[in-house]
Amino acid sequence: MEYSCLRKVFQTLIYWSIQRCRISGSLCRLSVSVKRIRDSNPPLMQISISDTGVGSSLVEFEELDTALIPLSNAKWDGMLLITTTGVHDKDICHYQLNIREAVSSRTRFTRLPPTYKTCGIFSGTEVCFSTPEEENIDDFMVWVVGFFHKILVLKDPDIVVELSVEQIGNLKSKNDLSQEINDIHLPLMLSSVDHLASGLKEYALKHGNSPDKECQTCYESREHLKVGKGVASNTGNMNTGKIVEAVIVIAAVASHPCCWMANCSTAQVLHFQDFTPCTMSLSSLNALSSINWQNYGLSLKEKHVDADGNIVLEWEMMTLFARMDIAIHCYHRSKVTAKYTRQRSTPDRNLVKKAVKVALDDLKANNIGLFLSSHSIKIRENAPELSRAIAGLILSSNDSEFQDECAALLGLPSVNSGTEGLIESCIHEKIVGIIELNDKKPKEDRNSAPCLFECENLYEEDAPFEEGEGAEEDNMLDF
**Domains identified in the chain and CATH numbers:** 3-181 (3.30.565.10), 192-366 (3.30.230), 372-479 (no CATH)
**pLDDT of the chain, 479 residues: tens digit per residue:** 444 677 888 888 999 999 999 888 889 999 999 888 777 777 788 899 999 999 988 888 877 765 556 565 556 778 899 999 999 888 999 999 988 887 778 888 889 999 998 887 899 999 999 887 555 677 777 788 888 888 888 878 888 888 888 877 655 555 555 434 444 444 445 688 988 998 888 888 776 555 454 555 555 556 678 899 999 988 665 556 789 999 999 876 655 555 554 556 788 899 998 888 988 888 888 899 899 898 888 888 888 887 767 788 888 876 667 778 899 999 887 655 444 444 565 667 899 999 999 999 999 888 877 888 878 888 888 888 888 888 888 888 888 888 888 888 887 777 765 567 788 888 888 888 888 777 776 655 555 555 555 544 444 444 444 444 444 444 444 43
Measured distance CA(298)–CA(302) in Å, rounded: 12
The C-alpha atoms of residue 234 and residue 228 are separated, in whole angstroms, by 21
Burial of 188 (0-12, 13-18, 19+ CB in 10 A): exposed
Which sign, positive or negative, has the C-alpha torsion 308, 313, 319, 321? negative
Rounded Cα–Cα distance for residues 242 and 235 (Å):
8
Strands (E), 99-158: 109-116, 124-132
Q: How far apart are CA 270 and CA 280, in angstroms?
A: 8
CB atoms within 10 A of CB 383: 18
CA 68 remoteness from chain centre: 27
Cross-strand bridge partners of residue 226:
250
* DSSP code of residue 121: -
- Give the angle 391-392-393 at the CA atoms, nearest 5°: 90
Per-residue b/e over 162-173, b at no fewer than 16 CB within 10 Å?
bbebebbeeeee
pLDDT of residue 128: 95
* Interaxial angle between packed helices 137-154 and 3-24, expressed in degrees from 0 to 180 and rounded to the nearest 10: 30
| 462 in Cβ contact with 441 (< 8 Å) | yes
Instruction: List 173's β-bridge partners, or say none.
Output: 167
Q: What is the pLDDT of residue 73?
A: 55
Residue 299, CA atoms < 13 Å, CB-side half-sphere: 7
The set of residues, in sequence order, having a beta carbon less than 8 Å from that of 290 and lying 6+ positions away, is 349, 353, 469
Distances (CA, A) of 343 to 31, 74, 159, 273: 24, 29, 21, 11
pLDDT of residue 420: 72
Identify the helix (H) or strand (E) that includes residue 94.
Answer: strand 91-98
Q: How confident is the model at residue 253, as a pLDDT?
A: 61
Q: Which of 434, 436, 412 is nearest to 423 (CA)?
A: 412
